[in-house]
A and B are shown apart, each in its own frame.
Chain A
Amino acid sequence: MDFNADHFTLMGLPRVFRIDSAALDKRYRELQAEVHPDRFAHAGDTEKRLSLQWATKVNEAYQTLKKPLPRAKYLLHVAGHDVGAENNTAMPADFLMEQMEWREGVAEARSAGNHHELEHLHHRLGEQMRGAYDELGDLFDNAPDYATAADRVRRLMFLEKLLHEIDDAIVALEEE
């Protein structure tokens, strides 16, 4: 196995968005069972260092492929279509408008102490994101369209952040 192999190869998975997550979990554990530093606690320094490097790499591959957003970004990366989050921040006006509305809704519910409304927003956003990830599956696996996929990934980055903010607002309310 080449240390520079891509994450999919390392995890023995085809390079697709709709992965077999049970197979990923299984392969992850099998690999760590072989390379984890606990296997080399009584070994020499060279083996300890190699084990640290491999176990780190296996963790990174697993973390990247496990969740849909980093997996999608990585698929774009290996296909040579980086998301370009830094240089490509211009989003369509209607999308940004929609984002503003979401944020206002969250801020209002937060200041009114409306726990129920926050849970509702969380649920609605979750539904919307599930749909978006479903679409990504088609854009990657059925008829690959990396340009559109990159656009959807950029949108999802906004949505994941928003979801995180709703979670934070719920937590803040619970702690008051």
Chain B
Amino acid sequence: MALLQIAEPGESAAPHEHKLAVGIDLGTTNSLVATVRSGLTVVLNDELGRPLLPSVVRYGKAGNVEVGYEAQRQQSLDARNTIVSVKRFMGRGKADIANLEAIPYDFVEAPGMVRLRTDAGEKSPVEVSSEILKALRARAEASLGGDLVGAVITVPAYFDDAQRQATKDAAKLAGLNVLRLLNEPTAAAIAYGLDNGSEGVYAVYDLGGGTFDISILHLSKGVFEVLATGGDSALGGDDFDHRIYCWILQESKLSPLSSGDARLLLTRAREAKEYLTFHGEAPISARLSTGEMVDLTLTTQIFNDITQTLTMKTLQAVKKALRDAGMTASDIKGVVMVGGATRMPQIQRAVGEFFRREPLNNLDPDKVVAIGAAMQANLLAGNRAAGDDWLLLDVIPLSLGLETMGGLVEKVIPRNSTIPAARAQEFTTFKDGQTAMAVHVVQGERELVSDCRSLARFELRGIPPMVAGAARIRVTFQVDADGLLSVAAREQTTGVEASITVKPSYGLSDDEVASMLKDSMEHAKDDAFRRALKEAQVEAERLIEAVRAALLSDGELLSPEEKARVEAAITRLHSTALGENRRHITLAMDDLEAETKDFAARRMDKSIRRAFAGKTVDEIEQTTKENQA
């Protein structure tokens, strides 16, 4: 006989119902997807049992798209249409890209972010990245046998706002519900810390294919607190390959190369670098399309010499992060090595010498980020019980500020501020009768606007005419838990309110994402209408579930009448979601949100009181002990 299941109060109505959530490491060279299944964190392999997906996308003339190994095989033959290391172009203009001459793509300058001209048309790095994410999503759904409720996507800690926004847009375009953008070193710390039960201050040295991060974290029972982070979002294993490539050109005295030959030699360079991890010297040979032959031997000594400045550059960033954290190398209990490029012996040695301790390598440096991301996704999806969880406190890597008179930057939120964070700054008008004000938002550490990254410009209009200096314009910065910024400006002195909230301009507007989504679906001969309806239904289901869980744990905060109204709104949404009218579903969702607004506020209040209650218990214990003494 089947027994009825009764949920414990405060727990989900269906505790056995495990929500499918994944962690995705969207890397410069390789990408991975991982999940927590039956309590174990596993990297999901492809049908051939391979965990990595090369971050390579090839666009064919017929509009066909290849991703991963299949695309990688074609990269020398069809270099122009085969995009590798697209992460380097995310949120970047043409002027930002280093070694442009060695990259065989047809770049098109576009506002905010470069585009790439391929046989299938112009592609933005966001679209290219979304192809990689779509492939990982398909892999996960096939492997887990269901739709994903969401994903945690990792980004380099040193990614600025433009790069983060671009990553989030790519995920949206791939149809993923982003639970959180998570910093790569922080993800590694979760995987490492939970695995080893570590306590104390740790450094995470993360040298990936195209990015370098250093994070200093304080680990204590269930809390991962980032103290400082630093790095270089354009420094990675690729640069070591490029040094070898330049050495090959110099030694072989080669004439200008075709894009296919350049790609071939870069591949040979990478192979030589990997070979040197286990051998004292690496042979490099290649036959170019011109008939010229390359035949060289790269020794460890030469490799160390030509990459010495790159290694030093990473250690400078380590020093700066330590200073920001108020620590010295001797305060660090352990150094976790992350990223395939940390396999290079000279990196292991340099880091070991700097911290005067053996770096920790007991987790696979290629997988550790995806594993940490999967653990966080499992937590955020609500698969873990309260008490059996952990808290992550991360920071922004670069200061956020505003342009003031004379092209100077006024910092509003300094780097290494714990997020979410908000700060308001007041400005005034410069001329009598001034009715508009230009607001220019920048990110970076330098004093001059021209040395920082421009994030957004907008105008606040409708300021009532006043004498110069009388208006009070309050500009508020809000950074959310993904590290993403929104800015609002508002005139304070008069009843007239002029306010605007901007999303930084490099990002795609929601309309643009929607239209790209539509294009890609039409292209795939998918039924766009069906797809959009399905998404709305999933959204509605998600909301109903969240409200039901809230009712179950905190239902006593509502009067019977209020509770009945919420239940009725749930029922309405539920029946609307069974129908096929997407607009009605959205309206019913808004309706339920409105009915639960007060409830949400009361629940938050209860949460805060709970934090205080914790203190009272401690105080009682304290008093008892004192009385006993």
The complex places the Cα of A12 from the Cα of B617 at a distance, in Å, of: 14
Beta-carbon contact of B593 and A46 below 8 Å: yes
Q: Which of A62-92 contact B (CB under 8 A)?
A: 62-63
B608 CB contact (under 8 Å) in A1, A47, A52, A56: A1
Residue A99 CB within 8 A of the other chain? no
Beta-carbon contact of A41 and B381 below 8 Å: yes
Beta-carbon contact of A46 and B319 below 8 Å: no
Residue A141 CB within 8 A of the other chain? no
The complex places the Cα of A137 from the Cα of B316 at a distance, in Å, of: 38
The complex places the Cα of A60 from the Cα of B421 at a distance, in Å, of: 7
Beta-carbon contact of A174 and B607 below 8 Å: no
Residue A106 CB within 8 A of the other chain? no
Residue B615 CB within 8 A of the other chain? yes
Residue B583 CB within 8 A of the other chain? no
Beta-carbon contact of A44 and B547 below 8 Å: yes
Contact A60:B615 (CB < 8 A) given known A38-B379, A167-B323: no
The complex places the Cα of A38 from the Cα of B180 at a distance, in Å, of: 8
Interface 0/1 of A7-35, CB less than 8 Å to B:
00000100000000000000101111111
Residue B150 CB within 8 A of the other chain? yes
- Known contacts A44-B596, A59-B421, A167-B323, then 19 further A-B pairs from the complex at CB < 8 Å, ordered by chain A residue: A1-B605, A1-B608, A30-B615, A31-B608, A41-B381, A42-B19, A42-B149, A42-B150, A42-B381, A42-B542, A43-B600, A44-B543, A46-B596, A47-B546, A47-B604, A50-B601, A56-B420, A59-B417, A171-B323
Beta-carbon contact of B421 and A46 below 8 Å: no
Query: What total count of A-B pairs have CB within 8 Å?
Result: 110
Beta-carbon contact of A27 and B615 below 8 Å: yes
Beta-carbon nearest neighbor of B482 in chain A: A37
Beta-carbon nearest neighbor of A33 in chain B: B391
Beta-carbon contact of B380 and A41 below 8 Å: yes
Which residues of chain A are within 8 angstroms of B531 by Cβ–Cβ distance?
A: none
Residue B9 CB within 8 A of the other chain? no
Interface 0/1 of B533-549, CB less than 8 Å to A:
00000000011011100
Residue A55 CB within 8 A of the other chain? yes
Residue B523 CB within 8 A of the other chain? no
Least Cβ distance of B118 to chain A in Å?
36
Which residues of chain B are within 8 angstroms of A56 by Cβ–Cβ distance?
A: 420-422, 478
Beta-carbon contact of B179 and A42 below 8 Å: yes
Which residues of chain A are within 8 angstroms of B601 by Cβ–Cβ distance?
A: 46, 50
The complex places the Cα of A131 from the Cα of B610 at a distance, in Å, of: 39
Beta-carbon contact of A42 and B607 below 8 Å: no
Beta-carbon contact of B422 and A41 below 8 Å: no
Which residues of chain B are within 8 angstroms of A127 by Cβ–Cβ distance?
A: none
Residue A36 CB within 8 A of the other chain? yes
Q: Which of B554-610 contact A (CB under 8 A)?
A: 592-593, 596-597, 600-601, 603-605, 607-610
The complex places the Cα of A46 from the Cα of B379 at a distance, in Å, of: 20
Beta-carbon nearest neighbor of B542 in chain A: A42
Least Cβ distance of A140 to chain B in Å?
23
Which residues of chain B are within 8 angstroms of A63 by Cβ–Cβ distance?
A: 417-418
Residue B382 CB within 8 A of the other chain? yes
The complex places the Cα of A171 from the Cα of B321 at a distance, in Å, of: 12
Beta-carbon contact of A38 and B481 below 8 Å: yes
Beta-carbon nearest neighbor of B599 in chain A: A46
Least Cβ distance of A32 to chain B in Å?
6
Which residues of chain B are within 8 angstroms of A12 by Cβ–Cβ distance?
A: 612, 615
Beta-carbon contact of B223 and A29 below 8 Å: yes
Residue B629 CB within 8 A of the other chain? no
Beta-carbon contact of B608 and A37 below 8 Å: no
Contact A41:B150 (CB < 8 A) given known A36-B391, A50-B600: yes
Q: Which of B208-249 contact A (CB under 8 A)?
A: 223
Least Cβ distance of A147 to chain B in Å?
26
Counting from the closest, the 7 A-B pairs by CB-CB distance are: A41-B380, A34-B607, A37-B481, A46-B600, A30-B611, A47-B600, A1-B608
Beta-carbon contact of B391 and A29 below 8 Å: yes
Residue B146 CB within 8 A of the other chain? no
Least Cβ distance of A126 to chain B in Å?
12
Residue A54 CB within 8 A of the other chain? yes
Which residues of chain A are within 8 angstroms of B610 by Cβ–Cβ distance?
A: 34
Residue A45 CB within 8 A of the other chain? yes
Beta-carbon contact of B319 and A32 below 8 Å: no
Which residues of chain A are within 8 angstroms of B615 by Cβ–Cβ distance?
A: 12, 27, 30
Beta-carbon contact of B604 and A38 below 8 Å: no
- Size of the A side of the interface (Cβ < 8 Å), in residues, is 35
- A residues with CB within 8 A of B: 1, 12, 27, 29-39, 41-47, 50-52, 54-56, 59-60, 62-63, 167, 171, 174-175
**Chain A interface helix/strand/loop/mixed:** helix
Least Cβ distance of B230 to chain A in Å?
12
Q: Which of B187-223 contact A (CB under 8 A)?
A: 223
Contact A54:B608 (CB < 8 A) given known A42-B542, A43-B546: yes
Beta-carbon contact of A1 and B180 below 8 Å: no
The complex places the Cα of A46 from the Cα of B591 at a distance, in Å, of: 12
Task: Jot down 20 A-B pairs with beta carbons below 8 A, ordered by A.
Answer: A27-B611, A29-B223, A30-B614, A35-B607, A38-B180, A38-B481, A39-B607, A43-B600, A44-B593, A44-B600, A46-B601, A54-B604, A56-B421, A59-B419, A59-B420, A59-B421, A62-B418, A171-B319, A174-B319, A175-B316
Which residues of chain B are within 8 angstroms of A167 by Cβ–Cβ distance?
A: 323
Beta-carbon contact of A44 and B180 below 8 Å: no
Beta-carbon contact of A1 and B609 below 8 Å: yes
Least Cβ distance of B562 to chain A in Å?
15
Which residues of chain B are within 8 angstroms of A47 by Cβ–Cβ distance?
A: 546, 550, 600, 603-604
Which residues of chain B are within 8 angstroms of A51 by Cβ–Cβ distance?
A: 604
Beta-carbon contact of B600 and A37 below 8 Å: no
The complex places the Cα of A47 from the Cα of B545 at a distance, in Å, of: 14
Residue B120 CB within 8 A of the other chain? no
A45 CB contact (under 8 Å) in B150, B179, B593, B607: B593
Residue B392 CB within 8 A of the other chain? yes
Which residues of chain B are within 8 angstroms of A37 by Cβ–Cβ distance?
A: 420, 480-481
Contact A44:B546 (CB < 8 A) given known A38-B180, A38-B380: yes
The complex places the Cα of A37 from the Cα of B482 at a distance, in Å, of: 10
Which residues of chain A are within 8 angstroms of B319 by Cβ–Cβ distance?
A: 171, 174
Which residues of chain A are within 8 angstroms of B149 by Cβ–Cβ distance?
A: 42
Contact A38:B420 (CB < 8 A) given known A43-B546, A44-B547: no
Least Cβ distance of A102 to chain B in Å?
21
Residue B123 CB within 8 A of the other chain? no
Which residues of chain B are within 8 angstroms of A31 by Cβ–Cβ distance?
A: 608, 611
Q: Which of B314-344 contact A (CB under 8 A)?
A: 316, 319-320, 323
The complex places the Cα of A50 from the Cα of B597 at a distance, in Å, of: 10
Least Cβ distance of A117 to chain B in Å?
19
Least Cβ distance of B204 to chain A in Å?
19
Beta-carbon nearest neighbor of A47 in chain B: B600
Which residues of chain A are within 8 angstroms of B420 by Cβ–Cβ distance?
A: 37, 52, 55-56, 59
Beta-carbon contact of A34 and B608 below 8 Å: yes
The complex places the Cα of A34 from the Cα of B543 at a distance, in Å, of: 20
Beta-carbon nearest neighbor of A29 in chain B: B223
Beta-carbon contact of A35 and B608 below 8 Å: yes
The complex places the Cα of A43 from the Cα of B545 at a distance, in Å, of: 9
